């Protein structure tokens, strides 16, 4: 056990939390070591908090990090002796990955283990009895019932037993193509950035039995689509891409045509309007989960068997709907790539992603890419706006759910929005909201177009084109723009209202403005909140995501004077002045 070393930067606590001093000279080295086996909980200015969990330890084991290495790292950098109970927890959970190995034996799938006690434990689990077949004669393994590869892994991780899947994958039909050295659309040079190439290499893992299944976690604007295209180019196989909406489907196709030698006829779109099955097929989660009635079958799951796919890409994997999880459970013989900016799921099913898509293979922090200039530096400001007296009275007597909407549609937010727009006269601005009536009023006030889920696809694409070309400086968008929308020139986002306390939404909305901006690589994210309301309470949860990612989150409180006039801003002008210099 180590003695007290007060000059070290790390405090290791018995509740599995780790506190790391940002100002310490060794901060970056320690941060990189902790990222291998602990989850970053929050990263504000001075102390970053990590947590060691069973899932983080299983992800570490899947990446080849041993329990001895984890313990050695903690002991090397800790100020105080590492708690004995934590060392034991690391040993207990960190060694579980690999105790159960899924293999292909004699043409059948089987679970192998070295511990006969573990065999008896599994054999007596009621949730596994319909999934397992006969055991090996020496009781060191047990065969699976046909088609149960995914379901067995899902049930076992819920029992605290992660499975090391070494059964390999079917190669799928071949598909030959190359990455272009120059973009087809602009002629600009194209190549994967170092961290993008590293992500492709980690996912592929040299073509070994554990390569080809996993999740890549990178911030919005970091080029997750480019990494996926790199994985496709490495594997050279038929590919099914699943994403969040029709706009994303079309943007995936455009990216593939722009950056690869794939032809238009090689890429099919499977949506409500089109049902093309091609060597590369791009579909939405919505079409896959469509059924005529609640008890009816999912009509479009047949797409999974429609071709001999060698790779299935799950875009925004944190949004994977539960029914698609069930379909993925049956796709375990195919390589699977998950892409996301955050593995936080509001339903808490991160373990299901681990089992059915694969372990987390890459997790690049937002602030790391920002420091390298690969994404913009974001300044986040929450502006707390008072409710006018008449709306405050309406709020006071309303039901709880209605209160949130009244607060979200606070009419004084319009005046603050006007101030913010005037402060960014030459920049491309997104005004984002939750409620369509609010967005309609904003559109009339600004004389700007409003893009919602009801906007026809052709009109939507024309608005995106105008915005990206700089012909349109302000675009008003509903939650339809939360996911997988390519708006590379947006440098300011004004959030007028949001979905309660959704951290996912906050991450995606911030991501709309993070793509690099050239010489002055700065973006602004404003969130307008009604002060002293339920909206302010929910906003705390949303802003927590940003502070966890290391963003300084400033707060500006505005007030009404006795004459009912809104107070002048103080923090916001200083923010603009500081970033301008």
What are the structural domain ranges in the chain?
Answer: 10-94, 100-165, 194-364, 372-580
254-308 pLDDT, tens digit each: 999 999 999 999 999 999 888 999 999 999 988 888 888 888 888 888 888 888 9
Neighbours of 180 (CB within 10 A): 17
User: What pLDDT score was predicted for residue 486?
Assistant: 58
Q: Which residues have C-beta within 8 Å of that of residue 83, sequence separation ≥ 6?
A: 12, 13, 14
Phi, psi (rounded to 5 degrees) for 542? -70, -45
SS3 content of the chain, % helix, strand, coil (to 5): 40, 20, 40
Pairing of strands 100-105, 163-165: parallel
State yes or no: pLDDT of 240 exceeds 90. yes
Closest CA to 324 of 384, 267, 243: 243
- Can you give the three-state secondary structure of 475-528, one letter per residue? EEECHHHHCCCCCCCCCEEEECCCCCCCHHHHHHHHHCCCCCCCCCCEEEEEEE
86-128 pLDDT, tens digit each: 999 999 999 999 999 999 998 899 999 988 888 888 888 999 9
CATH of domain 194-364: 3.40.50.300
3-state SS, residue 324: helix
Tokens of 239: 């590919």
Q: Which residues have C-beta within 8 Å of that of residue 496, sequence separation ≥ 6?
A: 408, 413, 417, 431, 432, 433, 434, 438, 439, 442, 528
Closest CA to 282 of 302, 266, 268: 268
Q: In this structure, are residues 382 and 553 in contact, taking their beta carbons and an 8 Å threshold?
A: yes
Q: How far apart are CA 93 and CA 97, in angstroms?
A: 8
Model pTM above 0.85:
no
Percent with pLDDT over 70 in the chain: 91
Q: Give residue for tokens 């994977």.
A: 320
Asked if domains 194-364 and 372-580 share a fold, the reply is: yes
Pairing of strands 213-217, 267-270: unpaired
How much is the average pLDDT of 184-190?
83
Q: How far is CA 388 from CA 73, 406, 560, in A?
A: 55, 11, 8
State yes or no: pLDDT of 484 exceeds 50. no
Q: What is the mean pLDDT of the chain?
A: 87
Q: How far apart are CA 405 and CA 502, in angstroms?
A: 15
pLDDT band at 83 (very low <50, low <70, confident <90, very high): very high
- Within 13 Å and on the Cβ side, how many CA atoms surround 366? 28
How much is the average pLDDT of 486-491?
67
Q: How far apart are CA 236 and CA 383, in angstroms?
A: 49
How much is the average pLDDT of 34-45?
83
494-523 pLDDT, tens digit each: 989 876 545 555 566 666 666 666 667 788
535-574 pLDDT, tens digit each: 888 777 666 666 666 666 788 999 999 888 999 999 988 8
User: What pLDDT score was predicted for residue 552?
Assistant: 67
Q: Give residue for tokens 């041993």.
A: 66
Q: How far apart are CA 337 and CA 362, in angstroms?
A: 11
Contacts of 45-48 spanning 24+ positions with Cβ under 8 A: 45/552, 46/21, 46/22, 47/19, 47/20, 47/21, 47/22, 48/19, 48/20, 48/22, 48/550
pLDDT, greater one: 131 or 502? 131
398-424 pLDDT, tens digit each: 998 899 899 999 999 999 999 999 999
**Fold of domain 372-580:** Rossmann fold (3.40.50)
Q: In this structure, are residues 208 and 152 in contact, taking their beta carbons and an 8 Å threshold?
A: no
State yes or no: pLDDT of 393 exceeds 70. yes
């Amino acid at each position: 056990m180590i003695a007290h070393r007060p000059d070290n930067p790390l405090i290791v606590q018995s509740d599995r939390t780790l506190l790391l001093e940002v100002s310490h000279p060794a901060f970056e080295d320690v941060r990189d070591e902790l990222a291998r086996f602990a989850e970053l909980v929050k990263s504000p200015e001075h102390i970053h908090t990590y947590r060691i969990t069973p899932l983080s330890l299983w992800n570490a084991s899947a990446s080849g990090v041993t329990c001895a290495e984890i313990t050695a790292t903690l002991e090397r950098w800790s100020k105080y002796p590492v708690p004995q109970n934590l060392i034991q927890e690391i040993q207990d959970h960190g060694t579980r990955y690999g105790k159960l190995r899924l293999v292909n034996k004699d043409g059948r799938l089987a679970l192998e283990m070295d511990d006969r006690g573990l065999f008896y434990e599994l054999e007596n689990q009621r949730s596994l009895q319909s999934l397992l077949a006969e055991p090996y004669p020496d009781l060191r393994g047990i065969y699976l019932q046909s088609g149960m590869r995914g379901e067995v892994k899902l049930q076992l991780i819920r029992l605290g037993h992660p499975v090391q899947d070494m059964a390999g994958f079917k190669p799928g039909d071949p598909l030959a193509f190359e990455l272009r050295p120059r973009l087809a659309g602009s002629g600009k040079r194209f190549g994967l950035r170092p961290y993008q190439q590293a992500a492709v290499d980690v996912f592929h893992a040299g073509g070994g039995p554990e390569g080809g299944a996993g999740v890549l976690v990178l911030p919005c604007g970091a080029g997750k689509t480019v990494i996926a295209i790199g994985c496709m180019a490495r594997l050279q196989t038929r590919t099914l891409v699943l994403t969040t909406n029709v706009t994303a489907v079309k943007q995936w196709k455009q990216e593939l045509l722009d950056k690869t030698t794939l032809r238009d006829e090689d890429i099919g779109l499977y949506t409500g309007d089109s049902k093309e099955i091609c060597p590369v097929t791009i579909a939405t989660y919505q079409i896959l989960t469509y059924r005529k009635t609640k008890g009816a079958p999912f009509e479009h799951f047949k797409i999974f068997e429609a071709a001999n796919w060698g790779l299935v890409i799950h875009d925004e994997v944190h949004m994977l709907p539960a029914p698609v999880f069930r379909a993925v459970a049956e796709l375990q013989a195919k390589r699977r790539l998950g892409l996301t900016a955050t593995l936080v799921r509001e339903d808490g099913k991160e373990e299901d992603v681990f089992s059915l898509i694969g372990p987390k293979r890459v997790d690049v922090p937002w602030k790391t890419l920002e420091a390298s200039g690969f994404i913009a530096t974001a300044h986040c400001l929450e502006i707390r706006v008072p409710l006018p007296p008449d709306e405050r009275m309406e709020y006071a007597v309303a039901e709880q759910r209605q209160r949130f909407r009244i607060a979200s549609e606070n009419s004084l937010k319009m005046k603050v929005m006007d101030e913010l727009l005037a402060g960014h006269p030459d920049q491309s601005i997104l005004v984002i909201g939750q409620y369509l009536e609010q967005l309609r009023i904003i559109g009339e006030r600004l004389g700007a177009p409003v893009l919602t889920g009801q906007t026809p696809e052709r009109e939507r694409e024309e608005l995106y084109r105008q915005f990206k070309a700089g012909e349109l400086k302000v675009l008003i968008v509903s939650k339809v723009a939360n996911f997988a929308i390519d708006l590379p020139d947006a440098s300011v986002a004004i959030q007028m209202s949001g979905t309660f306390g959704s951290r996912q939404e906050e991450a995606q909305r911030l991501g709309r403005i993070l793509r690099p901006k050239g010489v002055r690589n700065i973006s602004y994210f404003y969130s307008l909140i009604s002060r002293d309301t339920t909206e302010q309470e929910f906003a705390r949860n949303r802003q927590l995501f940003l502070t966890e990612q290391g963003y300084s989150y400033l707060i500006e409180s505005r007030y009404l004077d006795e004459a009912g006039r809104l107070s002048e801003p103080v923090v916001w002008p200083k923010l603009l002045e500081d970033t301008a210099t």
